[in-house]
């Protein structure tokens, strides 16, 4: 009986240690405990986005700069700077490329390079992307095959800001397959426009088409069009205000159908949002809603099934 008693005590002790560890960041600093209402005082940084099942993102810092993001399924985003400006982002991992809510089994690797205008605003992004697929196992083999290159792509993004408000106005994307032994040409395009209510994004419309000819000019007929709208903003603080603006744009461009996340550009939090495929004769919006949870310092800590964990800056 004594052995059983000591074993129970040992398990309880280890559980306590694990529980305490889960409330510390990688440097051992205390995190905001989701089970309390005390919150953090003073400067803070966003540390984790978590659901009941997974850690969606974990942010690592060098001083005040976000330098690495660890994501679901061991995906990693590395962020590099020139001074205080993001100059390059490298991603290796898995993405939901088809927008069905699940990570694809094909892995993705891309590098984005950022250039800025005379006003220090982001002006262009150039991207090289590779997609890898694991060939199926052919009996009698039993071990998984290594992933092999499926295809390569190149993309170019032109970022436009309003001269009157300074807010993000539009993004024009061009991309195409990067095939060895052939001259590269852009074959597809998209245009994204942003509307605002105050400082918050109220509507995003993105349409897609094919590029005709070799000029690379987005001139072909529209093949798809989607609208994203955001309603009923609160007056509390969005956790994404703590992340760099350029990183947030990169996150939106990680797939060609990720615009539903455009709420991350807003300083406040929308209690409802909708997405509408505008190509059917009678479009039918899909509406999502949430009830937010906040801490005493007015930062949002939970919404749309995601918990946001902070740490002292």
pLDDT of 72-93, one tens digit each?
Answer: 889 999 999 999 999 999 999 9
Cα distances (Å, whole numbers) of residue 59 to 28, 33, 86, 247, 309? 14, 17, 15, 12, 10
Q: Sorting pLDDT into bands at 50, 70 and 90, what band is 123?
A: very high
**Mean pLDDT, rounded, for 224-230:** 97
Closest CA to 63 of 92, 27, 91: 27
pLDDT over threshold 80, residue 34: no
**Mean pLDDT, rounded, for 170-197:** 95
Structure token pair of residue 283: 């479009």
- Which tens digits make up the pLDDT trace of 277-302? 999 999 999 999 999 999 999 999 99
pLDDT of residue 159: 98
State the chain's mean pLDDT as an integer.
88
Residue predicted with more confidence, 34 or 184: 184
Q: How far apart are the first and last CA of the chain?
A: 48
pLDDT over threshold 70, residue 258: yes
pLDDT over threshold 70, residue 49: yes
pLDDT over threshold 60, residue 8: no
pLDDT of residue 7: 36
Domain ranges of the chain: 1-30, 41-312
Asked which of 2-11, 68-77, 148-157 is least confident by mean pLDDT, the reply is: 2-11
Prior bond to 140 cis, omega within 30? yes
Structure token pair of residue 256: 């060609």
pLDDT over threshold 70, residue 259: yes
Bridge partners of residue 190, in order along the sequence: 173, 208
203/14 Cα distance (integer angstroms):
49
**Mean pLDDT, rounded, for 48-56:** 93
Neighbouring CB atoms inside 10 A of 87's CB total 15
16/6 Cα distance (integer angstroms):
15
Q: Sorting pLDDT into bands at 50, 70 and 90, what band is 26?
A: low
Q: Sorting pLDDT into bands at 50, 70 and 90, what band is 23?
A: low
Q: Sorting pLDDT into bands at 50, 70 and 90, what band is 30?
A: low
pLDDT over threshold 60, residue 132: yes
72/119 Cα distance (integer angstroms):
36
**Mean pLDDT, rounded, for 174-195:** 95
Global confidence as pTM: 0.86
Q: Are 66 and 78 in contact (CB under 8 A)?
A: no
Task: Tell which CATH architecture fits domain 41-312.
Answer: Beta Barrel (2.40)
């Amino acid at each position: 009986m004594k052995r059983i008693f000591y074993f129970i005590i040992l398990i309880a002790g280890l559980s306590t240690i694990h529980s305490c560890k889960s409330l510390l960041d990688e440097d051992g600093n205390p995190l905001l405990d989701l089970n309390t209402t005390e919150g953090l005082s003073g400067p803070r940084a966003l540390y984790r986005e978590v659901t009941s099942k997974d850690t969606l993102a974990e942010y690592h810092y060098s001083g005040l700069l976000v330098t690495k993001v660890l994501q679901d399924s061991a995906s990693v985003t590395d962020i590099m700077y020139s001074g205080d400006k993001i100059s390059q982002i490298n991603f290796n991992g898995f993405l939901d490329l088809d927008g069905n809510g699940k990570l694809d089994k094909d892995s993705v690797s891309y590098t984005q390079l950022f250039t800025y205008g005379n006003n220090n605003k982001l002006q262009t992004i150039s991207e090289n992307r590779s997609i890898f697929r694991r060939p199926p196992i052919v009996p009698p083999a039993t071990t998984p095959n290594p992933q092999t290159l499926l295809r390569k792509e190149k993309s170019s993004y032109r970022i436009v800001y309003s001269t009157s408000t300074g807010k993000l106005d539009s993004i024009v994307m061009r991309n195409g397959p990067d095939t060895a032994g052939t001259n590269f040409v852009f074959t597809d395009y998209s245009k994204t426009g942003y509307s605002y209510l105050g400082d918050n994004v109220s509507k995003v419309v993105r349409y897609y088409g094919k590029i005709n000819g070799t000029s690379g000019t987005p001139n072909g007929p529209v093949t798809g069009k989607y609208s994203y709208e955001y309603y009923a903003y609160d007056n509390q603080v969005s956790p994404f205000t703590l992340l760099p603006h350029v990183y947030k744009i990169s996150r939106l461009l990680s797939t060609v159908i990720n615009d539903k996340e455009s709420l991350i550009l807003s300083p406040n939090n929308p209690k409802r949002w909708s997405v509408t495929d505008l190509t059917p004769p009678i479009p039918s919006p899909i509406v999502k809603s949430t009830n937010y949870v906040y801490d005493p310092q007015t930062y949002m800590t939970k919404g749309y099934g995601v918990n946001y964990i902070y740490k002292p800056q």
